[in-house]
Amino acid sequence: MYLAKANYKEEDVIHVLTELLKTIIKDNTVIICIGTDRCIGDSLGPLVGTMLKNSDYKYPVYGTLDKPIHALNIYESLSDIQKKHPDAIFIAIDACLGEKSNIGNIQIREGPIHPGKGVGKILPKIGNYSIVAIVDEINEDSKFTFSNIRLNFIIEMSEIIATSIILAT
């Protein structure tokens, strides 16, 4: 269920996301950013995590460029996070694939994300809430690759998400 949806080019995108995040983020919030820096399209999560860490964001953040949470370490990472924060509200952040018309949309959803789903991987669901950015079109013929995504596009969306989270606290 979408709680908010805005395109990264919309003038009020940060305001729209921030106002909703103010109702979600509590003192026991933990941010979990999913992805890898080895693929531009999948680097959104670690970029957001790094931006939050570099801003001295006051709540715990996991998944950064230097310590990403990705398919190879996701089970161990989630286990450690859940042990450290058993009563937390988890907000998961990830890039995702979608319809071509939705590329550039940032969505806040109630419920978990399903990392790897768009590229055919089965990984654990993450989050009480999720923030996803649609970075490319899903293509059944080549679903294991992000086609031709520009780094600047990913950085712009990452900055919008990180800024919205910071302003909401």
For residues 33 and 126, the answer to whether their CB atoms sit within 8 Å is: no
CA distance 95 to 42: 6
Residue 138 has what DSSP assignment? -
Q: Confidence band (pLDDT; 50, 70, 90) for 74?
A: very high
CA angle 118, 19, 125 (to 5 degrees): 30
Work out the angle at residue 159's Cα, subtended by the Cα atoms of residues 77 and 31, and round it to the nearest 5 degrees: 25
Query: Which CATH number applies to 2-167: 3.40.630.30, 3.40.50.1450, 3.20.20.70, 3.40.50.720?
Result: 3.40.50.1450
Query: CA-CA distance, 94 to 155, in Å (whole number)?
Result: 13
Q: Model confidence over 2-54: pLDDT tens digits? A: 799 999 999 999 999 999 999 999 999 999 999 999 999 999 999 999 999 99
Half-sphere exposure of residue 120: CA atoms within 13 angstroms, side-chain side: 8
pLDDT, tens digit, 9 for 90 and up, residues 110-152: 999 988 776 677 789 999 999 999 999 887 665 545 557 999 9
Domain ranges of the chain: 2-167
Nearest to 116 by CA among 33, 31, 37, 35: 35
* pLDDT at residue 95 tops 60: yes
Question: For the whole model, what pTM was predicted?
Answer: 0.93
